[in-house]
Every structure is written in C-alpha cells, then in structure tokens.
Amino acid sequence: MKVVGLRDAKQTLSDCIDHAQHERVLITRHGRPAAVVIGVEGEDLEDVLLQMDPKFWEMIEERRRNSSTIPLDEVRRRYGLTKKTRGGASRKGTTKGRPRT
C-alpha cells in the first residue's frame, strides 16, 4: 500500500488515482491515517455505489442469516442425483440421459 501525505496527495491527485487502480493509496494527515483511495476504474457506477453502502451489506447479512436455502450438493444427496460433468454426462455412467454402450 502506498502512503501519501495529504499535502502531496493534493498536488499529485491524478497520480494517486492512477496508482490506486493497481494498489490502494493511504492518505495521511499529520502522520495519521485519514483516507484510503481505492481504484474503481472500469466498474459500473451502480456496483460501486452498492459496494460502499452499509445498508446494502446489512440487508445481505440479514438475508444470509434468515435464508432457508440448502446447498445444491445437499439437494443432490437427498434425491439421489449425481453431479453432471461439463459435457452433460453424469458420473454414474449415462450420457445425455442414455446409458453408455
């Protein structure tokens, strides 16, 4: 992480932003941390706004706590299903719904 004093950051803001696209930049004021610059170039505006919104993350955590979903592997186990390989064939010896010959 690059560390820059506030006075230098003001004078080289463009450089700090360019650097932040690859590595975070910590800006200090009187030797103490004051801000962190994180590059978001190429990201969608809506995604950036949501990532920075504490209410959004509270909602996500609440949904995770109250979720009644079960993992796909558990569904497969309960119903005796096999995993599909990338080509669509199951691992129990069938190819696209037909037994192998």
Shared domain for 53 and 25, answered yes or no, is: no
Domain match, 38 and 61 both: no
For residue range 68-84, what is the model confidence (pLDDT) as tens digits? Answer: 888 889 899 999 988 76
Range of the domain at 8: 1-42
Average pLDDT, the chain: 87
Query: Residue 49: which residues within 8 A CB-CB, separation 6 or more?
Result: none
Type of residue found at 87:
G
Burial 12-47 (b: 16+ CB within 10 A, else e): eeeebeebbeeeebebbeeeeeeeebebeeeeeeee
Number of domains composing the chain: 2
- With H, G, I as helix, E, B as strand and everything else as coil, classify residue 29: strand
Same domain for 38 and 70? no
First and final C-alpha spacing in the chain: 59
Note the pTM of the prediction, 2 decimals.
0.57
* Residue 23 belongs to domain with CATH number: 3.40.1620.10
| Same domain for 32 and 1 | yes
Same domain, yes or no: 78 and 50: yes
Same domain flag for 61 and 73: yes
